[in-house]
Amino acid sequence: MDARETTPDAAAPQGAPPRIAVLGTGYLGATHAVAMAQLGMEVVGVDTDQGKVDALAAGKVPFFEPGLPELLEQTLATGRLRFTTDVAEAVAWADVHFVCVGTPQTKTSHAADLRFVEAATTAIARHLTHDAVIVGKSTVPVGTGARLRELVAREAPAGVAWELVWNPEFLREGKAVDDTLHPDRIVLGGTTPASEALLRRVYATPIAEGSPVVVTDLPTAELVKVSANAFLATKISFINAIAGVCEAAGADVTVLADALGHDVRIGRQFLDAGLGFGGGCLPKDIRALMHRAGELGAHRAAGLLQQVDEINMGQRERVVDLAVEACGGSVLNRRIGVLGAAFKPLTDDVRDSPALNVAAALHLRGAQVTVYDPEAGDTARATFPTLGYATSTREAVEGSDVVLVLTEWREFVDADPAALAALTATPRVIDARGRLDAPAWREAGWALRALGRAA
């Protein structure tokens, strides 16, 4: 089936809002459930974790995402949103079932672990009592949907009509609420006219606001999200590779990126040289795509993604090397203040965080590392309890031999360099995100190094 894109003028079919079940109430599922309720639908969020269900039902979001706690409280108050561990009741009640569970990397390879997706889909199939549409939102390897259709065909009760389609998510942590309520595109894969019409009712509000709808086949829809992440990762690794050239040649990668960004074919976003990407999506998604591409014999794609991954991981080693160099060749018993633990600002997510990876690597070399992050302190401590943790920027910087800015929180970018310099043993800073005002920090007495700029 060829892809087709519809314009905002295509009116969404009318009818009563469908009842929604969202299986999985982690980052994706909780956000999606709240957003669907905000768009006017009755929604039930389903999870096997009673603690998570109880917290959400009480209006408490178990992770940091700007705007989501307030929206959760609002939608709970309307009575349109509830949470449960009773999957049978939820499936029997709902018309549309969104699969929003995680697909982490397996422990033994780069492949995606699909156990949770398969378990959620099986649970839906076994408890169907009336015609329904199963909608995959989780990020999966291409070909997953076809296998899940076979699973549902085996498990669903006879006489119940169902469809399984794919509607990938495109959430950015820190902006997930807006991305769900006002998506820049809605991809529907493997739909029939009936299921497409139903999902247009689900997304009637953003469609009316102008969000384009791309209708395509199941494999293409599965590939859209991982391909988008792979492209963004490639863009980041490209500018980081060029940053190495800039350092060697005495050029400034930031000015270079600004100049490149004026080209409309390239754009400025994701051209910030620095510590590289991390988090729960890009690293594991490009590795899963690399693995799947290899399985399919698409070795050029697999080779490209291997290089992207290697360049990205090399940036972490580069920052460790700069810290060792700043300390005269050894960090043993040196005090290092680390500003940032989350993989990016506006989240408390420390999964595959470059910041924590660097902090842990320096700790293993004998450094006394103290980490501060405005939101991710607790999640970081749970992941790396052997590191030291501070409760403020000043506390992290105090007495340090070198300071590393590893997450570009506004609090760090706007900090007073003169006031911080007075707290240090030696005012040396490594700006691993390229966001500090270098002249101002140097004027305040700091010896500053930044990736992609000459020393």
- Tell me, yes or no, whether 256 and 297 share the same domain: yes
Band the pLDDT of 4: cuts 50, 70, 90. low
- Tell me, yes or no, whether 148 and 44 share the same domain: yes
């999606």: which residue's tokens?
Answer: 32
Instruction: Assess if residue 395 is contained within a domain.
Output: yes
- Tell me, yes or no, whether 286 and 193 share the same domain: no
Mean pLDDT along residues 83-110? 96
Interstrand relation of 213-216 and 4-6 (parallel, antiparallel or unpaired): antiparallel
SS3 204: helix
CB atoms near residue 437 (< 10 Å): 14
* Residue-wise pLDDT tens digits, 199-219: 999 999 999 999 999 999 999
- Tell me, yes or no, whether 344 and 296 share the same domain: no
Band the pLDDT of 455: cuts 50, 70, 90. low
The terminus-to-terminus CA distance of the chain in angstroms comes to 54
The answer to whether 100 is a known catalytic residue is no
| Predicted confidence (pLDDT) at residue 9 exceeds the cutoff of 90 | no
Comparing C-alpha atoms, which of 61, 85, 328, 40 is closest to residue 208? 40
- Tell me, yes or no, whether 437 and 368 share the same domain: yes
Domain boundary among 277, 295, 310: 310
Eight-state DSSP code of residue 105: B
Band the pLDDT of 1: cuts 50, 70, 90. very low
Mean pLDDT of the chain: 95
Domain count for the chain, please give it. Answer: 3
Instruction: Assess if residue 455 is contained within a domain.
Output: no
- Tell me, yes or no, whether 285 and 433 share the same domain: no
- Tell me, yes or no, whether 66 and 127 share the same domain: yes
Instruction: Assess if residue 352 is contained within a domain.
Output: yes
Instruction: Assess if residue 370 is contained within a domain.
Output: yes
Amino acid of residue 42: E
- Tell me, yes or no, whether 194 and 240 share the same domain: no
Domain boundary among 216, 246, 262: 216
Task: Write the CB contacts of 125 (distance below 8 Å, at least 6 apart in sequence).
Answer: 134, 151, 152, 154, 155, 156, 162
Which of 100, 246, 281, 327 is an active site residue?
Answer: 281
- Tell me, yes or no, whether 371 and 249 share the same domain: no
Instruction: Assess if residue 19 is contained within a domain.
Output: yes
Domain boundary among 268, 288, 310: 310
Mean pLDDT along residues 176-184? 96
* Residue-wise pLDDT tens digits, 265-291: 999 999 999 999 999 999 999 999 999
Range of the domain at 56: 15-216
* Residue-wise pLDDT tens digits, 129-174: 999 999 999 999 999 999 999 999 999 999 999 999 999 999 999 9
Instruction: Assess if residue 5 is contained within a domain.
Output: no
- Tell me, yes or no, whether 84 and 185 share the same domain: yes
Eight-state DSSP code of residue 11: P
Instruction: Assess if residue 222 is contained within a domain.
Output: no
Domain harbouring 378, CATH code: 3.40.50.720
- Tell me, yes or no, whether 304 and 320 share the same domain: no
Domain harbouring 301, CATH code: 1.10.1040.10
- Tell me, yes or no, whether 25 and 171 share the same domain: yes
* Residue-wise pLDDT tens digits, 232-259: 999 999 999 999 999 999 999 999 999 9
Q: CA separation (Å) from 423 to 148, 299, 394, 418?
A: 58, 52, 7, 9
Instruction: Assess if residue 1 is contained within a domain.
Output: no
